[in-house]
């Protein structure tokens, strides 16, 4: 049985400071959980960041509004709309620059090899042309190795079906959030790939959900008892 921490932080590792994009750290004060971003003045000057010495966010000021938003977004009558929004919000897939360059080299080598073979057929010196072919084939082999290394390194967009399956694997999100204790709430947030960004100046939190980090590894969480 997993031991629960005495003072659990529901949003541990999930809240970021908008000013510096660093994770905010949990801190208890008079029995209440807070999240704090401390940015010493010399660091702010060195990094050209306008940042208060300390940024604080109280946990219980965020929990209810966030749970209300999530419960609303994942209710049965809005589920398809939410899945569509999550599918469309994914970044477009772009092949890594090195893979694109390697593919261009391979295409160029293929063109050269066709010309060299045509030159042989036309009566060019076989010794000279064979040297060209050997050099080009070696260049092509290096590019193919680079392409193989780069393939699959970029993020892959999830299909609508994959997102639907992961959402359904979580079960009744609204029910779990309503009844769960702090540790189980934290597990739901983690599995949703929740990211919270706190803007201290406006005292607002931007929330986003990203299931891509958890594709294929979703587990069930229990409600409160």
Residues 26-55: tens digit of each pLDDT? 989 888 899 998 876 655 555 566 777 788
83 and 165 within one domain: yes
Q: Is 60 domain-assigned?
A: yes
Last residue of a domain, one of 109, 133, 150: 150
pLDDT attached to residue 213: 54
Q: Is 166 domain-assigned?
A: yes
Higher-pLDDT residue of 178 and 27 is 27
102 and 83 within one domain: no
Residue 164 and residue 81 in contact, taking contact as beta carbons nearer than 8 Å: no
Q: What's the mean pLDDT when you consider all of the chain?
A: 76
Q: Is 10 domain-assigned?
A: no
83 and 172 within one domain: yes
Q: Which of 16, 46, 12, 40 is nearest to 26 (CA)?
A: 12
How many alpha carbons fall within 13 Å on the CB side of residue 79? 16
Q: Is 53 domain-assigned?
A: yes
CA-angle at 21, arms to 55 and 201, nearest 5°: 40
Please say if the pLDDT value at position 110 is more than 80: yes
137 and 35 within one domain: no
Q: How many domains does the chain have?
A: 2
Q: Is 192 domain-assigned?
A: yes
Please say if the pLDDT value at position 94 is more than 70: no
pTM for the whole structure? 0.56
Q: Is 57 domain-assigned?
A: yes
Please say if the pLDDT value at position 122 is more than 90: no
81 burial type by CB count under 10 A (0-12 exposed, 13-18 middle, 19+ buried): exposed
69-75 long-range contacts (CB < 8 A, ≥24 apart) are 69/207, 70/173, 70/174, 70/177, 70/192, 71/173, 71/174, 71/177, 71/178, 74/167, 74/173, 74/174, 75/174
58 and 19 within one domain: yes
39 and 70 within one domain: yes
Q: Is 6 domain-assigned?
A: no
Q: Is 188 domain-assigned?
A: yes
Please say if the pLDDT value at position 221 is more than 60: no
DSSP symbol at 118: H
Task: Pick the range with the lowest mean pLDDT from 56-65, 83-92, 93-102.
Answer: 93-102
32 and 74 within one domain: yes
Please say if the pLDDT value at position 204 is more than 80: yes
115 and 83 within one domain: no
pLDDT attached to residue 215: 42
| Per-residue pLDDT reduced to its tens digit, 134-176 | 888 888 888 888 777 665 555 566 777 777 776 776 666 767 6
Q: Which of 51, 32, 33 is nearest to 43 (CA)?
A: 51
Using 50, 70 and 90 to split pLDDT, how confident is the model at 119? Answer: confident
**Token reading at 93:** 């897939």
CA–CA gap between residue 115 and residue 129 (Å, rounded):
10
pLDDT over 70 percentage in the chain = 73
Higher-pLDDT residue of 164 and 132 is 132
101 and 44 within one domain: no
184 and 140 within one domain: no
54 and 108 within one domain: no
Which domain covers residue 169, as residue numbers?
15-91+158-214
177 and 130 within one domain: no
């Amino acid at each position: 049985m997993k031991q629960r921490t005495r003072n659990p932080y529901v949003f541990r590792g999930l809240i970021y400071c908008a000013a510096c994009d660093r994770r905010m750290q949990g801190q208890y004060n008079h029995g209440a959980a807070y999240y704090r971003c401390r940015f010493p003045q010399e660091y702010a000057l060195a990094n050209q960041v306008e940042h208060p010495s300390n940024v604080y966010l109280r946990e219980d000021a965020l929990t209810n509004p966030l749970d209300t938003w999530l419960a609303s977004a994942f209710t049965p009558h809005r589920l398809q709309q939410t899945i569509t929004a999550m599918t469309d919000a994914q970044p477009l897939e772009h092949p890594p620059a090195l893979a694109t360059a390697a593919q261009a080299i391979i295409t160029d080598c293929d063109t050269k090899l066709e010309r060299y073979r045509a030159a042989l057929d036309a009566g060019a010196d076989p010794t000279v042309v064979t040297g060209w072919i050997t050099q080009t084939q070696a260049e092509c082999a290096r590019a193919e190795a680079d392409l193989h290394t780069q393939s699959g390194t970029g993020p892959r967009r999830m299909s609508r079906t994959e997102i639907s399956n992961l959402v359904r694997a979580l079960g009744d999100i609204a029910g779990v959030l309503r009844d769960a204790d702090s540790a189980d709430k934290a597990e739901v947030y983690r599995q949703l790939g929740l990211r919270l960004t706190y803007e201290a100046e406006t005292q607002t939190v931007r929330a986003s959900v990203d299931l891509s980090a958890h594709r294929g590894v979703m587990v069930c969480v229990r409600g409160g008892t």
